[in-house]
Structure 1
Amino acid sequence: MKEDFLHYLWKFKKFDTLNLKSAQGEIITILKIGDYLELSGPDFFNAHIEIGHQKWAGNVEIHLKSSDWYLHNHENDPAYQNVILHVVWENDTAIFREDNTEIPVLILKDYVSKEIIHNYTALITPKTWISCEKQIQDTNQFVFKSWQERLFLERLERKSKFIYDLLEETNQDWEAVLFCLLAKNFGLNTNGNSFLQIAKSIPFSIIRKESFENENLEALFFGNAGLLNAEKEDVYFKDLNFRYFYLLHKYQLERTFVDPVQFFKLRPDNFPTIRLSQLAGLYHKYQNLFSKICHLKSLESVYELFDISASNYWLNHYQFDKESPKKAKSLSKSFLDLIVINTIIPIQFAYSATLGEPDIESLIDFMNEVAPEKNAIIDKFISFGIKSKNAFESQTLLELKNEYCNNKSCLKCAIGIDLLKNN
């Protein structure tokens, strides 16, 4: 038994409300359950309750045991002086106010049906992966779809925190924020943090000034990535090395040492050399990328904007000094789908939120065009009969699993509440 189950019972009145009596023997009539704000202080605010023949307006506190009042030190907190009813599962001690009057107690277990307790126990009993894995297909589809929209919004709000932190670090420069976010996501999971460190180590004002020469951008990126440290006979390598130290001197920059970029287990097209060259090519091609990103509304427009390739040297190289068969290193559609999911949609949302006008429906429509991700979590949901047709649906499932299922927050989840209500 968990306290959030008692919150659920009270919030949705899942108990016999017609024959309530306090532990002190007085008849209780619930006129208004109160507002469940999940803030510090009592659990339900501004409840209206008739106890005996007296109407009360105040707060309701809920505990598994009445002695939890003292365990949580509520007797020392003025916020709890206005509690008019103490709702508990077990009443093991009396609780008094400062004026020595006893707080009325409702023992909830006396009014809850065995069926509801059985359904709750079945829902929270540990399964192999998620608590509702055998029931999730039975969720009301309207509830499921509405919850997905809420999960999508929560995911964007959570991702926005990282963006707003970058905004503070860059003195409110949205172009610089976009550069950092793109760099991180060009590095994917393996090199994302290293690429982010590279982006943060180069003032964006320098990127703006040097964007007219693609080789200078590559020199800065490769140099700060530690990819120009070795001695090589390669002519292009030597040219980038010369440019790098020239730019360090020109802008009075110190050499930066980031976490080493990785090649291990990566497909050649995802090698850090290729991705950094493509990132340099993007900023060589566009000097005002943020405004263009903000106006993207379709997947096709993304593919057109990001129609770039690594520089000519990389046509027949994946690494310095090692020639390979000639192949253009352009950005694939599958890679750009990830850029939409992890960069474009989040930064569009964060920017529009600062203006007070986030258009969630348009962002959902945008995500509906993008193919769903393929990973272990999405595959597992498929095994339970929950298939994702697009990235909007797959992103909401990731949020569901990571933020609710993993935390056993079934009674904060619309799916869990619907299953508990209908079973």
Structure 2
Amino acid sequence: MREDFLHYIWQYKKFDFSNLTTVSGEAITVVHTGQYLQQAGPDFFNAQIIIGNQKWAGNVEIHVKSSDWYLHQHEQDNQYNNVILHVVWEHDVPIFRNDNSVIPTVSLKSFVSKAVLQQYLALATPKSWIFCESQIRLTDTFVLKNWLERLFFERLESKAVPIKILLTATNNDWEAVLFYSLAKNFGLNTNGEIFFKALQSIPFSVIRKESFEVQNLEALFFSQLDLLSETAEDAYAKDLRGRTSYLTQKYRLKKTWVEPVQFFQHRPDNFPTIRLAQLAMLYHLQQNLFAKIIAAASMNDLYELLNSGVSAYWENHYQLDKVSPAKKKRLSKSFIDLLVMNTIVPLQFAYAESLGKEISESLVQLLQTIPPEKNIVIEKFANFGITAESAFETQSLLQLKNNYCSKGRCLQCAVGVHLLKE
């Protein structure tokens, strides 16, 4: 038995409340179960209950066993002084207030039907991937649609948190926040954190000043990530090393130690050298990029804005000193889609929030124009009857899997609650 199931039973009155009694035999009438706020303190606030002939208003605390009250040390916490009813599955010990009066207790074990328990067990029994995999396709379309929209904004809120932290660290410089956030996403999952930490050692004011020469940006980026090999002997590598020496002294730059970037298991177009060269070219071509991104009205605007390639040297190189067949190496639409999903939309959301503007609908519409992501999570949902039509839905499904399914939070999930009700 899990406590969240008891929360569900109490919140939705999935018990025989017409014959409810305390463990001491007093009749209980539940006028209002209270507000389920999921915060510190009692589980349900401002409940209204009649015990015997006395009406009570206060809070309700829920545990699997009565003795959990002492296990959680609630007797030492003043937040629990206003508990009017202790709801448990099993009653094993009496519970007292600070004034030694007994807190009325109800044991739900005697008032929950076998049918409700069977529904819960059917949902809560581990499956091959998610708990409701055999039932999720039965979810009402309206319920699922609304839940996915809520999950999308929940995901946006979580992505906005590091943006706000970075904003504080950069003295509210939105252009700097965009650059460092893009740097992380240019590094993808493998090198993202490494790019982020290393390039943060370059003040964005330096990026602004040196963006008129793409080679200066490349020198700065490659140097901070230890990619300027001393053994590379071609003219371009020597030129970058010379620029690095000058720029490091000019701006008194210091390196932040980070682990080496990874080339292994990457396609050549995703090599960290190429992604850094593309990032350098983007900031060489686009001054005031943040302002332009905020002004962009559609994905076509963003595709045009982010459509950068690499400098001439990198068109026939993947690594320093190693010539390869010539290729333009422009950012692909699929890569720009990732940048929009993971960097630009969260940034637009956080920026609008800082101004008190509401742009939720436009963000949803923007992501609805992007094709659905292709990954194992989305493929699995499709196998169980939930097919995503756009990036808006894939972002929502990723939030569902990572924050609910993988954590067994079925009873905080609209799908789980719906299936139990059915």
Q: Does the residue aligned with 1:22 lie in a helix, a strand or coil?
A: coil
Listed as ranges, the matches of 1:100-119 within 5 Å are 100-119=100-119
1:402 equivalent to 2:402? Answer yes
Q: Does the residue aligned with 1:98 lie in a helix, a strand or coil?
A: coil
In 1: Cα distance, 2:195 partner to 2:74 partner? 48
In 2: Cα distance, 1:273 partner to 1:96 partner? 66
Question: Counterpart of 1:286?
Answer: 286
In 2: Cα distance, 1:113 partner to 1:124 partner? 17
Conserved in 2, the CA contact under 8 Å of 1:226 and 1:257? Answer: no
In 2: Cα distance, 1:410 partner to 1:255 partner? 46
Conserved in 2, the CA contact under 8 Å of 1:307 and 1:331? Answer: yes
Question: Counterpart of 2:34?
Answer: 34
In 2: Cα distance, 1:141 partner to 1:397 partner? 15
Question: Counterpart of 1:366?
Answer: 366
In 2: Cα distance, 1:65 partner to 1:273 partner? 58
Q: Which amino acid aligns with 1:241?
A: R
Question: Which stretches of structure 1, 4 residues or longer, exceed 4 Å deviation after superposition?
Answer: none
Question: Counterpart of 2:175?
Answer: 175
In 2: Cα distance, 1:269 partner to 1:78 partner? 60
Conserved in 1, the CA contact under 8 Å of 2:309 and 2:330? Answer: yes
How many residue pairs match? The answer is: 422
Q: Which amino acid aligns with 2:258?
A: V
In 2: Cα distance, 1:272 partner to 1:83 partner? 58
Q: Which amino acid aligns with 2:310?
A: A
Question: Counterpart of 1:52?
Answer: 52
In 2: Cα distance, 1:305 partner to 1:237 partner? 29
Once the two structures are superposed, what CA deviation does each residue of 1:133-190 show, in whole Å capped at 9, x if it has no partner? 0000001111111110111111111111111121122122111111000011011112
Once the two structures are superposed, what CA deviation does each residue of 1:215-264 show, in whole Å capped at 9, x if it has no partner? 11111111112111322221111111111111011112234443212221
Q: Which amino acid aligns with 1:417?
A: V
Q: Does the residue aligned with 2:228 lie in a helix, a strand or coil?
A: coil
Question: Counterpart of 1:220?
Answer: 220
Question: Counterpart of 2:295?
Answer: 295
Conserved in 2, the CA contact under 8 Å of 1:144 and 1:415? Answer: yes
Listed as ranges, the matches of 1:40-119 within 5 Å are 40-119=40-119
In 2: Cα distance, 1:273 partner to 1:66 partner? 61
Residue 108 (structure 1) shift? 1.0
Question: Counterpart of 1:246?
Answer: 246
Question: Counterpart of 1:267?
Answer: 267
Conserved in 2, the CA contact under 8 Å of 1:184 and 1:195? Answer: yes
Q: 1:256 and 1:244, CA in 2 relative to 1: closer, same or farther beyond 3 A?
A: farther
Structure 2 unmatched runs, 5+: none
In 2: Cα distance, 1:267 partner to 1:146 partner? 38
TM-score between the two structures when normalised by the length of structure 2 = 0.98
Conserved in 2, the CA contact under 8 Å of 1:224 and 1:258? Answer: no
Conserved in 1, the CA contact under 8 Å of 2:228 and 2:241? Answer: yes
Question: Counterpart of 2:146?
Answer: 146
Conserved in 1, the CA contact under 8 Å of 2:134 and 2:384? Answer: yes
TM-score between the two structures when normalised by the length of structure 1 = 0.97
Q: Which amino acid aligns with 2:152?
A: F
Structure 1 unmatched runs, 5+: none
